[in-house]
Structure 1
Amino acid sequence: MPVRYLIVDDEEPGRINLRLALADYPDWQLVAECDGNAAARAALARHDVDVIFLDVQMPGETGLVLARELACLCEPPLIVFVTAFSAHAVDAFEVHALDYLLKPLDDTRLAHAVERAAAMLRQRQREAYGAALRDYAVAGAAPYPERIGVRSVGRIEQVVVDEILWMEAAGNYVELHLPARTVLHRITLNRLEALLDPARFLRVHRGAIVRRDQIASLATGGEGSHRLALRCGGVVPVSGSYLAALKAAMAF
């Protein structure tokens, strides 16, 4: 069955470029091209749509307005944002398991987005995606997310931020350490840190962030190294550049 998709962009060159790029995927079928949210709503009323490529910055209503409307649906179409937004805004898309493309389009990044969307559709993840999208809509009015949509291959899992005891970098992934298991999330530690409440989480190393209420004791090793013991039993290295902030946190 073909993947039915919709392009929403107020600029015609943007629509044309995306349509031509997606022509390389024979299983993907264009339903309509829309120059704004009003046309997109009309197209969605007439057609079944699996994936929407949605421009963020449009005059009048932004693409985020339509995304939040779609969040009310039980099984909304998958949304791939097309954006020239800042890195922080892109972080917000990632942490809620939404996909995005930066302008100008990159063929490799588009291929990844197409593959990810197709995998989610094959595994019937529309309902889980709907939950992630609702989290994103709620987070628009809150400074920090309460849940994270963790992506694996074609799947989404909701992780409550308050259940994360500590986290460590693993290349372009982050290992989220929960009370009974560890979850691998495809995001960098720097990007995730930007969205965490600093009153609840503290970076102690370039590769580690801990929940403040997990801080137990600090030990000094050979050659001036430091290691932080956590209440959950974990042990995390501490680098010198974060030592003062850690000691200040332990003083309270």
Structure 2
Amino acid sequence: MNAAGATISPRAIRAILVDDESLLRQHLRERLERHPEIVIVGEADNVQSAAELVAVTRPEIIFLDVQMPPDNGFDLLPLLEGMDPVPAVVFVTAFDRYAQRAFDVHALDYLTKPVHPERLAQTVERLKRAVSQRGAGVAASPTLVPHLVPETPLEAADLVPLQEGGNLRFVEAGRIAAAQSQGDYTRILAAGGKPVLIKSTLSHWEARLPVGLFSRISRRLLINCQQIQQVSRLDREKTQVFFIDIAEPLTLSRIEFRRLRGSF
């Protein structure tokens, strides 16, 4: 638990960050620096320390991660029920499958890591409206909870969390070389590591990856042409594509290779 001791303007909105990954807390902290109306009064890396931090700092907003093994961010919510007023919660997680549950518990908003600046700005505006309504004596209710809006595309420099077994690594979106559909999963090839299988559809990745970098060369495959290092024809029907800082090549069909050439 880390509580800040700086003097806070009476008009500032007090916030805490709860995430077990210090790098991601830093990433969000830097994003929030663009919004001086939000003042971070503390940080925590698990549910228990977050509950203690809330009691000490009395924040108006909690930016809360979901998966913090062995904890779950939703476990914090019952511990907030005795507070008056109860702080608003914005879930910040790498997994979009929690969006419906976040909405069900009346979270103010739900952000997908890495947090996009424009998307965060929308959340801050909602928070300001909610705080204003509370100050005017408007009672909190499910009808005040905004509809969740789709995530905006990533920028090339944004960090994308990739889970590899028990390890979590972060890769710039622009260094993702390819996304390959495998049913309800997507296989991600990114510089500096092995391919990662993620439970998310290719359509989801197509909507999130940086605009202009990726070409959809078939129903199953997105390729970042800027990450191609070498192309090698195996025969008339098959071509191998090698990427920068990735050991494993992709094998393309004749039609896929033709579409790839057309995307340059």
Q: Give the TM-score normalised by structure 1.
A: 0.49
Q: Give the TM-score normalised by structure 2.
A: 0.47
Compare the two structures and name the one with the higher helix fraction.
1
